[in-house]
Amino acid sequence: MTRPRLILMGGLLVVAVTAGVVGARVWYARSPMAALGDTTSAPQGQRVKVEVLNASGVSGLARRATFLLRDRGFDVVGWGNDPRGSRDETLILDYTDKPEAAERLARVLGGAQVERGKDSLDRGLDLTVKLGSGYRPLVEVFHP
């Protein structure tokens, strides 16, 4: 092989590698986890049982939040609509005094008010989330 041909092939190799690196960065920047930004998850080594209720009036929001919370390590044991009607702000009811879990859950949801509560039905829940109309899911994570 001649020297000019080797230089040309080396230059093409550098361009291909550079394009691959740039492409990988663009792909990561568009991935769901990068779009979520904050990667807060449930406390390590703890099972945090959560109920997610839609109090926003937006159809399907509890289901979408359930997928996000499960992806972040929370054990969502039930989800549905809040029978008490709609609300503006998202509220987390802490039944078992697990402030770290409640704070992490609030961060995953992009902010929420946390209150101490009592599970009157004694269902063994740690936390209940009541999604308000101000809750905006950041990303739709793919779930077939």
Same-domain check for residues 75 and 125: yes
Total-model pTM: 0.68
- Cα-Cα-Cα-Cα dihedral sign, residues 99, 104, 105, 107: positive
CA-based nearest residue to 99, from 110, 107, 109, 87: 107
- For residue 9, the enclosing domain spans 3-30
Residue 127 lies inside a defined structural domain of this protein: yes
Same-domain check for residues 66 and 19: no
CB-CB contact of 101 with 127 (8 Å): yes
Vertex 131: Cα angle to 47 and 96 (nearest 5): 35
How far apart, in whole angstroms, are the C-alpha atoms of residue 57 and residue 76? 20
Across the chain, what does the average pLDDT equal?
80
Q: How many domains does the chain have?
A: 2
Counting every residue, how long is the chain? 144
Residue 137 lies inside a defined structural domain of this protein: no
CB-CB contact of 138 with 38 (8 Å): no
Lowest-confidence region among 2-16, 23-37, 90-104: 23-37
Structure-token pair, residue 64: 């979408």
Same-domain check for residues 77 and 121: yes
pLDDT tens track for 28-79: 444 344 444 568 888 888 899 999 999 998 888 999 999 999 999 999 999 9
Residues 6+ apart with CB under 8 A from 62: 52, 53, 54, 79, 80, 81, 131
Same-domain check for residues 55 and 126: yes
Same-domain check for residues 119 and 90: yes
Same-domain check for residues 81 and 25: no
In the predicted model, is pLDDT for residue 27 greater than 50? no
pLDDT tens track for 119-130: 767 778 999 999
Same-domain check for residues 56 and 119: yes
Return the amino acid letter for 1: M
Same-domain check for residues 15 and 58: no
- Looking at residue 70, which CATH number applies to its domain? 3.30.70.2390
Residue 69 lies inside a defined structural domain of this protein: yes
